Homo-oligomer: A and B are copies of this chain.
Amino acid sequence: MSRRSGILEFAVLGLLRESPMHGYELRKRLNTSLGVFRAFSYGTLYPCLKALVASGWLIEETDGAPEGVPAAALTGRRAKIVYRLTAAGKEHFEELLAHSGPDAWEDEHFGVRFAFFGQTSRDVRMRVLEGRRSRLEERLERMRTSLARSRERMDDYTLELQRHGMESVEREVRWLNELIESERAGRDQRPTDSAAQDKNQSGDTGGLPRHRGGSRPDPSDDTTT
């Protein structure tokens, strides 16, 4: 049936874990929390929500009536659906959170995974951060050798582009190093449960992993309700 999307599924589950929401608001949150990395349109979000409901991870509630109402049919008025995470959904999300395999540090996933680091265990965080770092280091290596081999064939602009590219990757590696450092140094943000409330530790420096290429409409979307 309908659309799934992996990363979107993950993000939706993660956001709904904090509190139930309309699809509409969900999208706004998505486009600011994950902001620079990804944006999703309704054409992606709504079908995905339906699929998540079908899987039992979410339930729909019509805005006024709590719990059991099967959504649709409410005095003829239009939908207005609030999505709420089910117990199964929560469990499923926690499983997803625990995965720290290779795709967790690929470009498209890493940013989103990072955005939900606050809900993961430090173990997972470390594995993901280190995975990404070595990923980028390989990339850097490949860039260096391929640059060495074809430097003469490139004109100034191509070269400049290449250089800036490498520097950006290098910069992300430094960021990761700092993050890893400060993870090692013992911060131990709540391994799994509940939402934001402790904003103590800090001392990291940063920069972004990478912001997505695709022609995001650069969401003029806002955040707060």
Chain A residues with a Cβ under 8 A of chain B: 32-33, 35-38, 106-108, 111, 114-118, 138-139, 142-143, 146, 149-150, 153-169, 171, 175, 179, 189, 195-196, 199, 201-202, 204, 206-216, 218, 220-224
Contacts and interface: CB of A to CB of B under 8 A. Distances in A.
A106 B215 contact: yes
Contacts of A154: 33, 196
A38 B159 CA distance: 16
Instruction: Say how many copies of this protein the assembly contains.
Output: 2
Contacts of A208: 161, 164-168
Given A139-B218, A164-B207, A213-B213, 11 more contacts: A32-B150, A107-B216, A118-B157, A138-B218, A142-B218, A142-B220, A149-B222, A153-B196, A160-B179, A168-B207, A212-B214
A182 to B, nearest CB: 10
A35 B162 contact: yes
A212 B115 CA distance: 19
Contacts of A224: 149-150, 153
